[in-house]
Amino acid sequence: MEKSIFTKIMDGEIPARIEYEDEHVIVIHDIAPKARVHLLIIPRKPIPTLMDVSAEDLPLIGHIHHVAQLLAKKLELPGFRLINNCGKEGGQEVFHIHYHLLSGFYE
C-alpha cells in the first residue's frame, strides 16, 4: 500500500509547517487554507476514514478533540470549526483520517 501524503510528512519525506505534535498526532498548516487559521490534525496511526475507526481507536479520537481545544487556547481563537470529511462522497481527498480546524473565515 502506498504511503499517504500525511505519512510522508510524518516520515520527513515532505516538508510541512508543523504547529504541534505529540506521540499520537501531528498538526500542520493546510497548504491551501480556507480560513485565516486552517490546521490539519492528523493521527499518527493511519486510519483510512472515520468509518474505519474501531472501539480501540476511541481514545485517539478523544485525544484529537483535546488537541483541538489546546490549539484554540494557544492561538486564542474566539471560535472554530472542526471538520472531518469521510469518504469520497463526503469530500475526503486523502484517505488517512484527519480533521480540519478552521477559524477566522475570509469574507
Q: Dihedral through CA 46, CA 11, CA 16, CA 92, nearest 10? A: -20
Q: To which residue does cell 477559524 refer?
A: 103
Q: Which residue has the cell 483520517?
A: 97
Active site residue ranges? 98
Relative to beta strand 35-43, strand 25-29 is: antiparallel
Pairing of strands 18-21, 25-29: antiparallel
